[in-house]
Amino acid sequence: MIYTVTLNPALDRTIEVEGLVKDDANRILQEARYAGGKGIDVSRVIKELGGESIALGFIGGYDGLELEGRLINEGVLCDFTRIGGETRTNIILNNRREKVQIMLNAAGPEITPTEIGLFFQKLSSILPNAEFVVVSGSVPPGVNHNIYAQIITTLKGTGIRVALDADRELLRQGCKATPFIIKPNIHEFQRLTGLRSQRVKDMLKQARHLVEEGIKIVLISMGAKGIMGVREEVAYWAVPPQVEVVSPVGAGDSTIAGFIYALSRGMDFKESLTLAVAAGTAAVLTPGTELCKREDIERIKGQSRVEKL
């Protein structure tokens, strides 16, 4: 089984208004709610590809219950750890007249040490069942930035392969615990390694350093340029076709989902990279928070190239 981890999920509320006026009521034209979170999106894409996963993380309060209910209704399996605080709500305000989007993002509830302990208990209980664990995104207040390193360390030696998609301290400390896979975008990779250039030769050198330190697979995503995939014996560059971008939201999550799903089905490194790049590029074709569609992935897979470096 594939497990995904979203420690700071959100109940996203999208609100449409014609325009905004001060000191008067603004009528909401349309309103939608959506279970948001990077690990949750990975679970959605795995489902779209025909696979199965279970979403883990923290939820609390009525909004947490609604988030869980929405996921169950979508057919996404979940096994959250309940907390005393309330799951956060992010507000996305679309102003039709001015064609602008305002996003109001909450920090998330404070997690207590006991609740963190409960999450790690849950993590230990999945050990017999898990093949992959995908850890993505930011963490709520009260959670130490070495938590991803602790998750990786807890799963070490069990044969479970952990994929890490995070930024800054979460990524830096996570890497020290040597996850199986990391998937930074180029900016996250540059922050991690201190690299300034985007030359293939320089990127490859830095990625190989990480592989020498024990990370088995380094995937660096570069938007429209595709993905550099490096492992001990071989490195590839996966290039997607040129497409018209509708919304880039969820591209990174779709990439990691495509890659993990492919590995779980026994595909080799090159095939897995092809599915990863196709899923990422398919995600930019859909509007708003919508993720990739299976038929787009299939089509783009055939239009993508993978070159050996």
Answer for which of 166, 273, 281, 291 binds ligand ATP (CB under 6 A) is 281
Which CB atom, from 127 or from 246, has the smaller least distance to ligand ATP?
246
Interface size with ligand ATP, residues (CB under 6 A):
20
81 binds ligand ATP (CB under 6 A): no
Least Å distance between CB 189 and Mg ion? 11
Is residue 134 within 8 Å of 2, Cβ to Cβ? yes
Strands 227-231 and 235-239: antiparallel
Distance, in Å, from the CA atom of 52 to the CA atom of 48, rounded to the nearest integer, reads 9
The 8-class DSSP code of residue 13 comes to E
Q: Write the interaction track for ligand ATP spanning residues 178-217; mark x where CB under 6 A is met and - where it is not.
A: -------x--------------------------------
272 lies in the binding site for ligand ATP (CB under 6 A): no
Q: Which does 284 bind (CB under 5 to 8 A by kind): ligand ATP, Mg ion, none?
A: ligand ATP
Angle at 146 between CA 205 and CA 67, to 5 degrees: 110
- Of the pair 81, 221, the CB lying nearest Mg ion is at 221
Strand partners, 136: 165
- Provide the 3-class DSSP secondary structure of residue 28: strand
Applying CB under 6 A, which of residues 138, 173, 255, 272 lies at the interface with ligand ATP? 255
296 is catalytic: no
Least distance (Å) between residue 42 CB and Mg ion: 11
Q: In what order do the strands lie in the sheet with 88-95?
A: 28-36, 10-17, 88-95, 100-104
Packing angle, helices 200-212 and 186-193, rounded to 10: 60
Least distance between ligand ATP and beta carbon 33 (Å): 21
